[in-house]
């Protein structure tokens, strides 16, 4: 049903959320509660930080490996060539260094390494070494940065920056809540195995702190989720009539189920923590929330490989794309363009270029040029001036497409005296008939 990239993304985000969430929960919830543990309980919980560090290291390793696979699959899609060939001719290095995704991935790799090193510090007794706060910063950065390479970050202008910031906060809140559930469950299990009189106060303090963190996370998830849904879906029709929108509904359903369980935990079980049965049920509810949360993270992985519903709705409202045409939609921070080449195969063709602003309204330009570069090594770029047609599209006639393959299309538009729009993307041209 989905491409391998969807599963790679899902695994990557799962590992990222779990690794970062453990760090956040450890710093903001567990370590402050450690000061209340005494006797056997203190000995039991003292072993938890080392266990959490090992889980974080495994999560970071999985995230780095899946991130590398993500980059390789992205390079394969860009060059339309086998991964081995792309690796041997330096294409993977180009994607890693010259695309936004690659540059962000490089920064995140550095943060992952710093985070792994910061977890080697000794802990216990509720003490917070300076490196503990550094670990939180590294984890938050590692968790939030993918927002600027996703759908929201691709939107032009202020909308893109606002959408990316909302996505970053969304990821941070998801990591704090979903990723923090596992260490909380482990903490409850360690406390349940002791009879120390300090157990009730310790568990109550940890649960109260996590409850505050969870409520803040739920509020952030609700607000940022609503913003993201508005930007990426845009209408009720887009929510129910597109695959993207229906997956968003699945994610919303999982979120509602998690909130329902969290409400039971907060208002029914937390006041009864002195009873062992309440602690047992709270631990089981944590496991249920973890399962629902990870399912939601998997949905996010799939959504990132699909065109947002609002784009599908926009394309449905625009002029119909001929069945034999090659088409590409390109975003940038200044504007966007839709390039249609008809017919989309080797031979003589014509190109139509439509320019849009961040509201999908027409973007006026003084001059537009189109550059096409064939996929063969050493091909020289072919640049042609476009003419404005009566329907608002810029047209280029009699283009000689020498071969099929993954061509590079570049649009350069002069918007004003000191304002230009430059866009580039691959476009697939079929072999001639």
| 67 neighbors 393 (Cβ within 8 angstroms) | no
Cβ-Cβ contacts under 8 Å for 115 (sequence gap 6 or more): 19, 23, 56, 60, 135, 138, 139, 142
Q: Could you list the pLDDT tens digit for every one of the 433 residues in the chain?
A: 567 888 999 999 999 999 999 999 999 999 888 888 888 888 888 889 999 999 999 999 999 999 999 988 888 776 667 888 778 777 788 878 877 788 899 999 999 999 999 987 554 444 444 458 899 999 999 999 998 876 554 454 455 567 788 889 999 999 999 999 999 999 998 888 777 788 888 888 999 999 999 999 999 999 998 887 776 776 777 777 777 888 889 999 999 999 999 999 888 888 887 777 888 899 899 999 999 999 999 898 888 777 665 555 454 444 567 888 888 888 765 678 889 999 999 999 999 999 987 656 678 899 999 999 998 888 899 999 999 988 788 999 999 999 998 899 999 999 888 788 888 888 889 987 6
Return the sign of the alpha-carbon dihedral for residues 11, 424, 248, 166. positive
pLDDT at 11: 94
Residues paired with residue 329 on neighbouring β-strands, in sequence order: 338
Long-range contacts of residues 122-130, Cβ cutoff 8 Å, at least 24 apart: 123/31, 123/49, 124/34, 124/46, 124/49, 125/34, 125/35, 126/31, 126/32, 126/33, 126/34, 126/35, 127/31, 128/27, 128/31
Q: Are residues 415 and 367 in contact, defined by beta-carbon separation less than 8 angstroms?
A: no
Q: Which residues contact 109 (CB under 8 A, 6 or more apart)?
A: 64, 67
User: Which residues lie across from 399 on neighbouring strands?
Assistant: 349
Phi, psi of 73 (to 5 degrees): -70, -35
- DSSP H or E run through 35: none
The listed CATH number (3.40.50.720, 3.60.9.10, 2.60.40.1930, 3.30.565.10) that belongs to domain 319-429: 2.60.40.1930
CA-nearest of 178, 186, 192 to 54 is 186
Rounded Cα–Cα distance for residues 362 and 355 (Å):
6
The answer to whether the CB of 8 falls within 8 A of the CB of 160 is: no
Residue 321 DSSP one-character state = P
Q: What pLDDT is recorded for position 73?
A: 86
Q: How far apart are the first and last CA of the chain?
A: 31
Q: Out of 1.10.4160, 2.60.120, 1.10.3470, 1.20.1630, which CATH number does the structure's domain 4-311 have?
A: 1.20.1630
pLDDT of residue 131: 54
The span from the CA of 315 to the CA of 214, in Å, is 39
Give domain limits for the chain. Answer: 4-311, 319-429
Give 409's strand partners. 372, 425
What does 113-182 look like in DSSP terms, one character per residue? HHHHHHTTS---TT---HHHHHHHHHHHHHHHGGGGGSHHHHS-HHHHHHHHHHHHHHHHHHHHHHHHHH
Tokens, residue 161:
């920056």
């Amino acid at each position: 049903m989905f491409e391998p990239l969807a599963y790679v993304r899902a695994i990557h985000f799962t590992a990222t959320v779990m690794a970062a969430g453990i760090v956040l929960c450890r710093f903001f919830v567990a370590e402050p509660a450690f000061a209340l543990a005494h006797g056997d309980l203190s000995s039991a919980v003292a072993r938890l930080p080392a266990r959490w560090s090992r889980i974080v290291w495994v999560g970071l390793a999985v995230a780095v490996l899946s991130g590398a696979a993500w980059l390789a699959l992205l390079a394969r899609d860009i060059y339309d060539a086998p991964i081995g060939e792309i690796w041997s001719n330096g294409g993977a290095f180009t994607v890693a260094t010259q695309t936004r995704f690659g540059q962000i991935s490089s920064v995140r790799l550095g943060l992952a390494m710093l985070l792994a090193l910061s977890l080697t510090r000794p802990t216990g007794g509720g003490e917070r070494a300076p490196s503990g706060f550094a670990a939180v910063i590294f984890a938050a950065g590692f968790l939030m940065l993918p927002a600027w390479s996703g759908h929201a970050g691709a939107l032009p202008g202020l909308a893109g920056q606002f959408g990316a910031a909302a996505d970053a906060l969304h990821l941070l809140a998801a990591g704090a809540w979903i990723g923090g559930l596992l260490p909380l469950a482990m903490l409850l299990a360690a406390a349940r195995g002791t009879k120390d009189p300090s157990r009730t106060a310790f568990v109550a303090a940890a649960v109260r702190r996590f409850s505050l963190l969870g409520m803040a996370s739920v509020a952030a998830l609700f607000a940022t989720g609503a913003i993201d849904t508005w930007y990426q879906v845009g209408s009720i029709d887009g929510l129910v009539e597109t695959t993207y929108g229906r997956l968003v509904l699945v994610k919303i359903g999982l979120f509602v189920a998690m909130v329902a369980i969290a409400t039971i935990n907060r208002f029914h079980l937390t006041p009864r923590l002195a009873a062992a049965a309440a602690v047992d049920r709270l631990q089981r509810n944590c496991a249920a929330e973890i399962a629902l949360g990870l399912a939601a993270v998997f949905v996010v992985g799939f959504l990132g490989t699909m065109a947002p519903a609002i784009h599908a709705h926009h394309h449905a409202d625009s002029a119909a794309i001929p069945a034999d045409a090659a088409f590409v939609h390109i975003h940038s921070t200044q504007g966007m363009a839709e390039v249609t080449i008809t017919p989309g195969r080797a031979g003589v063709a014509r190109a139509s270029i439509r320019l849009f602003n961040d509201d999908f309204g027409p973007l006026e330009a003084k001059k537009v040029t189109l550059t096409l570069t064939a996929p063969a090594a050493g091909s020289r770029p072919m640049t042609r001036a476009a003419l404005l047609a009566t329907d608002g599209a810029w047209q280029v006639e009699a283009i000689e497409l020498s071969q099929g393959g993954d061509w590079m299309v570049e649009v350069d538009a002069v918007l004003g005296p000191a304002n230009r729009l430059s866009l580039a993307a691959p476009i697939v041209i079929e072999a001639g008939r």
